[in-house]
Amino acid sequence: MKDDPVRTALSVPEPLPHRWRKHRLAALALLLPLALGSAAQTPLRWSSPSPATQLATVVTAPARSAPVAPHQIAYVPPPPRAMPLATGFDVQRFEAMAQALVAGQRVPGLAMAIVKDGHILSARGYGITAVDAAEPVDAHTVFRLASLSKAFAGTVAGLLVSEGALRWDSRVADFMPELQFSQPGAAQQLTVAEVLSHRVGLPQNAYDRDIENNADYRSLVRRLAAAPMKCAPGQCYAYQNVAFSLIGDVVFAATGRFFSEAVARRIFKPLGMDDASYGLDGIEGSPRWARPHVRGRNGWVALTPKPTYYRVAPAAGVNASISDMAQWLIAQTGHRPDVLPESLLATLHAPVVDTPAELRGSSWRRERLGAAGYGIGWRVYDYAGHRVVFHGGAVQGYRASIALLPERDLGVALLWNSSSSAPGGLLPTILDSAIGLPTGDWLELDQDDVELLYAQQQHAPQAPSVQSGSDDSVSRARPE
């Protein structure tokens, strides 16, 4: 990796060996101390020693009271090239699975992108945009990303850090002097990195129900002063949407540009994400977009999108097509260093706090995950001994998931327009195949249907591919 003139504060291994626990000492032997200049950032760190420290080897930062100064960081160079995909990895079979999901009306519409080594293997739509006004979903049909939006917020903040306009340890109150928490002095201690890694100190999903009841963002920021504190900032993890969106105010204060404008200028436009937008006006103004759906008495019912979570844009405001997401995957896997430097990606994808609750939930999490953490707008998993960078999202009739498998230079994104969780099993199915694991029954599809569709695809002319450049509840639709 080439040295950046302004280094971000943290470099971590790209693909670690298959079993981090077994090879941690060997990795430590490779650490190279790098002295940083005055623009360096305080290294991000785990809140406490735990199994998740296998995910990233980072030199512990100085205590909060210590003066900000140059620090030593640990860096493990990535391998010279990615490993190949395991034998039997078959994109057409995954496409047949996606088609089976919409053919059986498990979901009305779905879009999937798979990229490998910076090239698009597939970026296609399946099914329909709405059950009451059906148009086929294609590569440019726009969906809501829900909490996949958080990675865009972390990335634009990281770009500002790389330019010296922000620091990861910048105090949020320096940009928002009116910010107050119930614990005296807590708001003045909160840092940019703590906001972006959900270490604010508030209870989980603070004021999300108020968002769902149409409260506006500004009033909720003022109400943070009355919210009970779970811990001091930086001392514990609790997932947020309102508090996460404080980063939008920080970006505005640091740049003089509205948050959505900053993301469009620094990410959407240079990456060629031409269908991407923010907000309700953004999705409704798209030439083709997928309506949200929930279960009704007689099947799927199409809805009109609500403005609620769009009011917390950094947390849940992005709209994008699968064509856009293919470009996002290419950039996040390191193939657009002109836009997203490798050192920045290393920081964003490094876990800084344990999230053990992620080891529970869906069957693939229970069976595959050995450790889980949260980085900067991304989750980071030990997936059967392999590092996976992940996020999921769900909001009012839309769901989405995204994953990066660094050791194989693979990226996968799924977007669908219903409250069903069924397509979520397609992502671990693809990861299992890429690694060479026995595939779990994550999808519960009729295999006869899949085989029939697979056979039809093998004999049908393929649609042109997109070309590359260089919570499941009606009443509780909060982003994940």
Asked if residue 474 has pLDDT above 50, the reply is: no
What integer pLDDT is reported at residue 25 of this predicted model? Answer: 28
Structure tokens at 168: 């990861």
Instruction: Tell which phi-psi region holds residue 229, choosing left (phi > 0), alpha (psi between -120 and 50) or beta.
Output: beta
Q: Quick check: 453 pLDDT over 80? A: no
Confidence of residue 467 (pLDDT cuts 50, 70, 90): very low
Beta partners for 406?
A: none
The DSSP symbol for 262 reads: H
Q: How far apart are CA 211 and CA 200, in angstroms?
A: 18
Judging by beta carbons within 10 Å of its beta carbon (0-12, 13-18, 19+), is residue 150 exposed, middle or buried?
Answer: buried
Q: Are 300 and 105 in contact (CB under 8 A)?
A: yes
Q: Averaged over 433-439, what is the pLDDT?
A: 94
pLDDT at residue 167 greater than cutoff 80: yes
Task: Give mean pLDDT, residues 143-160.
Answer: 98
pLDDT at residue 139 above 50?
yes
* 4 pLDDT above the threshold of 50: no
pLDDT category at 153 given cuts 50, 70, 90 is very high
**For position 440, what pLDDT does the model report?**
83
Q: What is the mean pLDDT of residues 122-142?
A: 96
Query: Quick one: DSSP state of residue 113?
Result: E
> pLDDT value at position 371?
97
* pLDDT of res. 478: 52
**Would you report the helix, strand and coil content of the chain in percent, each value rounded to 5?**
35, 15, 45
User: Who wins on pLDDT, 82 or 271?
Assistant: 271
Percent of the chain with pLDDT over 90: 73
pLDDT, residue 438, reads 92
Q: Could you give the CA distance from residue 124 to residue 108 in angstroms, rounded to a whole number?
A: 15
pLDDT in tens, 205-262: 999 999 999 999 999 999 999 999 999 999 999 999 999 999 999 999 999 999 999 9
Beta-ladder partners of 190: none
Residue spans of the domains in the chain: they are 91-146+275-459
Give the number of residues written for the chain. Answer: 480
Q: Would you state the pLDDT for residue 274? A: 98
- What are 115's strand-pairing partners? 120, 411
Mean of the per-residue pLDDT values for the chain?
Answer: 83
pLDDT in tens, 13-69: 333 333 333 333 233 222 222 222 223 333 444 343 343 343 333 222 323 322 222
The tokens for 327 are 């470009």
The pLDDT of 448-453, averaged and rounded, is 65
pLDDT digits (tens, 9 = 90+) for 58-73: 222 323 322 222 222 2
Q: 91-146+275-459, what's its fold?
A: Beta-lactamase (3.40.710)
Condensed to tens digits (0 to 9), the pLDDT of residues 335-394 reads: 999 999 999 999 999 999 999 999 998 999 999 999 999 999 999 999 999 999 999 999
pLDDT at site 452: 67
Q: Is 410 helix (H, G, I), strand (E, B) or coil?
A: strand
Q: What is the pTM of this model?
A: 0.83
Burial class of 244 by CB neighbour count within 10 A (0 to 12, 13 to 18, 19+): buried
The 3-state DSSP class for residue 441 equals coil
Secondary structure (3-state) at 290? coil
Q: Which long-range contacts (CB under 8 A, 24 or more apart) does 301-306 make?
A: 301/131, 302/108, 302/130, 302/131, 302/132, 302/133, 303/396, 303/397, 305/144, 305/280, 305/396, 305/397, 306/280, 306/396
314-335: b or e for each residue (b if 16 or more CB lie within 10 Å)? bbbbbbbbbbbbbbbbbbbbbb
Q: Where are the beta strands (DSSP E) in 69-179?
A: 72-73, 109-116, 119-127, 142-144
Residue 192 · residue 168 · CB < 8 Å: yes
pLDDT of residue 460: 65
Give the whole-number percent of the chain exceeding pLDDT 70.
77
State mean pLDDT over 109-120: 97
